[in-house]
Structure 1
Amino acid sequence: MEKESDLEKPAQLRAVIVGAGIAGLMAAHAFERAGIDYILLEKHEELTPQLGGGIALCPGTLRILSQLGMLERVLKLGMPICPQVQIYDEGEKRVDAPEMSLYKEWLGSEFWFIRRTDLLRELHAHLGHGQRVMLGKTVKRVQQSGCGVRVECDDGSVHGGDFVLGTDGTHSVVREAIWKQGREEEGTAVSRDESGKSIPIYFHFHLV
């Protein structure tokens, strides 16, 4: 557990990333390239739990992987998505059937199909500072102070930084902390009803 003195604003910019999924690990790679210190907190005891299945990587995501120097390795783990994908509204009415092969012409790359666990494993394996990924850290509270942010975990550990990046999924603790602060601050435009809004999306595959 970090001491209270560790919670003081560090000389180097420091991020606390919550959630070691695809977004969290890619953010860690970006921070390393930018020279930003970070710590990554993940609630699961293992980095690649058997959650989710295959995912489709969009051309924009492939460009980011290229910028991170990881594209060739990731492409070897998957395959191009089928030429045509049919999308249904809540599993009943077909709303679109795009020709996936056209995306390479339009955007410079195809959609790429890969197992989620394989991508997570690859992202973690090539971090320059993999020891900064801490497993079994369930965040229960996020607080903001004059010297940065304070992130508390249910095991009693406390982690400080200049800012927190919430990549902890649908039921995000970080998102709820932001809504809570917004509701409490005077003059806020955030209502209680707005904080619970979500947008249902129905696809037969997962785009990243």
Structure 2
Amino acid sequence: MPPFRVIIVGGSVAGLTLSNMLEAYGIDFAVLEKHEDIAPRLGAGYAMMPYGARILDQLGCYHALEKLSSPVNSVSGFDERGKRCLHLSQLGAWMESSFGYKMRFLERRQITQVLYDNLRDKSKIHTSCEALEICSTDTGVEVETNGQVFRGDVVVGADGVHSPVRQEMERLALADGNGELFRNEDGGY
């Protein structure tokens, strides 16, 4: 019997973080990223909160990210007239004393690059590899891409807010008569 394998669709922060976790535990995986570059210039900034920083520290990525990021030491809020209505001058110190880390900001591509660089086996990352169709089989799942078929036991969608994986999951659920899993609050799909 082949080892358990996770197919991750999307080389996002979530997808690459999961990859690092799976690799740490010796679980086989493949990441399918549709872009040519694992760290494309997409998205704006990324707020690394203390609870996320703790996970990234456990994975061995935090110190590299700390060097690339800017800490948040204070926060101000403004009303609709532009008048300051809130100022937390010690937010950074409070977060660090409470959680061990400050909130930090960096570019999305920087965090994906650090997560990628932290992986020992980069052969499991497949760029220019867009997931087109997901099929459930008797032995697991198959993900058809623009050139290959990847087989595994489970598919994880880490492919963004307009997730094609979610759309495929909905298609499969409707075909199996489980459409209620995807109903909106108004009863539609």
Q: What is the TM-score when the length of structure 1 is the normalising length?
A: 0.78
CA RMSD of aligned residues (A): 2.7
Gap runs ≥5 in structure 2: none
Q: Which moved more, 1:97-106 or 1:73-82?
A: 97-106
Deviates further, 96-105 or 127-136:
96-105
Q: Take 1:19 and 1:119, find their aligned partners in 2: how far apart are those partners?
A: 14
Aligned to 1:83: 74
Is 1:135 aligned with 2:127? yes
CA contact (8 A) 2:53 2:62 kept: yes
Q: Distance in 1 between matches of 2:5 and 2:171?
A: 23
- Tell me by how many angstroms 1:192 deviates: 4.7
Which residue of the other structure, out of 172, 180, 188, is the alignment partner of 2:163?
Answer: 172
Paired with 1:170 and 1:92, the residues of 2 have a C-alpha distance of 32
- 2:116 is aligned to 124
Identity percentage over the alignment?
A: 30
Measured in 1, the distance between the counterparts of 2:148 and 2:11 equals 18
Is the 1:141–1:177 Cα contact (8 Å) retained in structure 2?
A: yes
How far residue 87 of structure 1 moved from its aligned partner, in angstroms, is: 8.1
- CA spacing shift, 1:151–1:117, aligned 2, 3 Å: same
Q: Give the letter aligned to residue 114 of structure 1.
A: L
* Deviation, structure 1 residue 98: 7.4
Match of 1:52 in 2: 43
**Count of residues in correspondence between the two structures:** 184
Contact between 1:183 and 1:192, CA under 8 Å: does it hold in 2? no
Task: From the superposition, tell whether residues 183 and 77 of structure 1 become closer, same or farther in structure 2 (CA, over 3 Å).
Answer: same
1:174 offset after TM fit, Å? Answer: 1.1
Structure 1, gaps ≥5 residues long: 1-9, 198-208
Structure-2 residue corresponding to 1:189: 180
Q: Per-residue CA shift, 1:13-71, capped at 9, x if unaligned? A: 11111000111111110000111011111001111211112211011110111111221
Instruction: Encode CA deviations 1:118-154: one digit per residue, 9 max, x unaligned.
Output: 211111112111121111111111111220110011x
Q: Whole-Å Cα distance in 2 between the matches of residues 134 and 33 of structure 1?
A: 19
Return the structure number with greater helix share.
Answer: 2
TM-score (norm 2): 0.85
Q: CA deviation at 1:103?
A: 2.5
Aligned to 2:7: 16
Instruction: Answer with 61-70 or 101-110: which moved more.
Output: 101-110
